[in-house]
Copies of this chain bind each other. A is one copy, B any other.
Amino acid sequence: MEAVPRKTTIREVARAAGVGIGTISRVLNSSSQVSWKTRARVLDAIRRLGFRPNAQARRILKKRAEMVCFLLSNRDFLHPFHARILQGVESYASGMKQHVLFAALHYSPRTPPEKIDLPPVLQEHGLIDGVILAGTIYPNLLRRIEGIQMPFVALSNNVMGMDDVQQFDQVGFDDLNGTLQATRYLISKGHRRIVFAGDVSYPWLQRRFEGYGRGMREQKLKPVLITARNVPSFGDFGQESVGRILSGRSRPTAVVAGNDEIAYGLWRALCRRGVKVPDEISLVGFDDREEAVLMDPPLSTVCVHKEEIGETCMKMLLERLHHPQMAFSQRVLPTEFLIRGSVRQL
């Protein structure tokens, strides 16, 4: 660990070891065979000089950056959901000797594709091999990324406005089956009057509503949607909709919330009104945010394996890079309903 001038170059190592620069490169890449003796001399010189090869130079020849970009779009914060996906991406990437660059982007769905001001890393080329699109994805961003010929994988659950065939690689999780499981569970616990709370203008909440609806219809029960638009946050949505939930002729015994935030909003508003969870009303959420276990009682919710999603994105992107002509693939990862304390047996 001696002090080492960082600019040590392969040429200096070659001189110190008394060999040609090609030989240094060969032992570095352990590609072709180098004699035992020479290799030892070279290794020794490398250690003595504290030589670390310049990655840029290698990459320019390899035509591979060995780096991908995790692009988070239209998010004010790196929320735990995406943070853990990023972590899954990094985890798989590092195993494959790939690097992960984190970048953020804010854009409007109405900007023409070619006008979207991508982060510099996507404007140059050679820096990254591909990109993982996270956050909210509108068609214009997709067009833009295709326009620069950049291989990509999209996190499909937040793709907006593309109901038809989707000609790109994507990884998602099973919204519909998540609420289906949750609804079946509620029914198995004796619940009949169950409502769904969520703003279904979001495609993912729409899918969750459909899963709930399917569960209800299986048992000849009537789905009821509590929705609203233009509410500032999901938490407020929960607080605002509680009135309508409680005011019906026959009050529901359970609520399927479109996500955990809505569930929290509901839960707090219920507390305020002195309505006890789960004694008087049962509640389930979706996402399994960290807070879910902090609630009292802990929230029963649908679990999404975030790390696995990240890993799958990275894996799929790598496959795409190695087989550019391969057919596009869509993977939907399973979701899992977690039974905790917020549902009561009737």
Contacts and interface: CB of A to CB of B under 8 A. Distances in A.
Contacts of A4: 148-149
Contacts of A26: none
Contact of A65 (B56, B104, B124): B56
Please tell me the size bucket of the interface on A.
35 or more
Contact of A99 (B77, B101, B126): B101
Interface in A47-100: 50, 52-60, 65, 67, 70, 77-80, 83-84, 86-87, 90-91, 94, 97, 99-100
A218 interface: no
Contact of A60 (B60, B65, B123): B60
A296 B268 CA distance: 7
A148 B53 CA distance: 12
B120 A99 contact: yes
A120 B97 contact: yes
A264 B292 CA distance: 12
Interface in A233-288: 235, 264, 268, 271
Please tell me how many copies of the chain the complex holds. Answer: 2
A52 B123 contact: yes
A125 B6 contact: yes
Interface string A87-123: 1001100100101111110000000011000011101
11 contacts: A4-B149, A5-B149, A53-B125, A55-B121, A55-B124, A91-B104, A100-B101, A100-B103, A101-B101, A102-B102, A271-B296
